Structure 1
Amino acid sequence: MFILGPSGCGKTTLLKIIAGFIKPDSGEIKIMGKDTAELAPERRNIGYVSQSISLFPHLSVMENITFGPLCKGLDRRQREEKCFAAAKLAGALHLLERMPETLSGGEKRRVAIARALAVDPFLLLLDEPLSMLDSDARSELMKMLALIHSSGVAIIHVTHHPEEITADFAKIVKMENGKFVL
């Protein structure tokens, strides 16, 4: 699903509410039919990639990707399996031994997406994932996101760029002033 809207219309806030980082002022957030208002973010089984990519600078790419599975208590073999599967899907296998400061913007996005995928989310929230990338990197990442979506991971992708919308995602919602516009 794409959520399209101008800067400041509430797209990022909506993602943070869905992820559980912000409590809604009113209403409910139902995930798979359950009200999740009191459910901690780490218990929602959702991957979130923010606009400003925040990788741990003191950890290798592999350590960044395995951080979520480590927090879930998985053993080393399980963490490595999750890491390799997520890195393969995100096109980041060749980056595993590198440090974040050596990565380009597109490579950092791939690693952040792999880190979000390593916890096996059923839903991936992407906040302007293609911003600040050149056209080649955008095109590559759009193909990668289509591949992730086709693997069975639901994606909510927010943007203010209509050209990012692809046919691979069935739904497009427009947002203005904190509300969906029909």
Structure 2
Amino acid sequence: MQLMPDSPLRRVALEVEAHVAAEGWDQPPRLFALVSTADLIAREPALADQLSAEPDSITPVEQELSSERELEDLLTEIEWPDAVAGCAAVVERIMLPPDAEESLPEDPDELLAAVAAHPDRREVRLVAAVTRDGRAHSTVRAREPADAELLEGPDLVPGLIEHLRRTLA
């Protein structure tokens, strides 16, 4: 049963998540420009057979990223051209339960060690997709169990969504 209203943005966020998930875990951050499929086909007619024929569809185009810097830092310098309707990012993170935050050290090195050793930590893959008109869709999938349910909604990863929105301003 589908609980989220379907939209081109939702479909492209799910497509990006499935694409990255097919390559397994322990991946670096990934960034995608989101372009109107109709505009892409108009510029590159040879791609018509490979892309969706739905009128409002969005096509993700993966961007090459430097592995030297954190994604959030790179996003502060990105400005997309007008032809880009939106963008999507994929990151893997460790999440802790909310009550664990109270006991975490403030020193960055100690914090990393504490999070890595925490018995209730969960590794997750986060996907956020946004468009110039302000819409957003996000997904969260836990690494364990192997068949973990994909959670989705418009604002599951608000920090990442906000970073992406700033690249479109």
Which TM-score band (shorter chain)?
Answer: under 0.3
Q: Which structure has more strand as a fraction of its residues? A: 2
**TM-score, structure 1 length as denominator?**
0.26
Q: Which structure has more helix as a fraction of its residues? A: 1
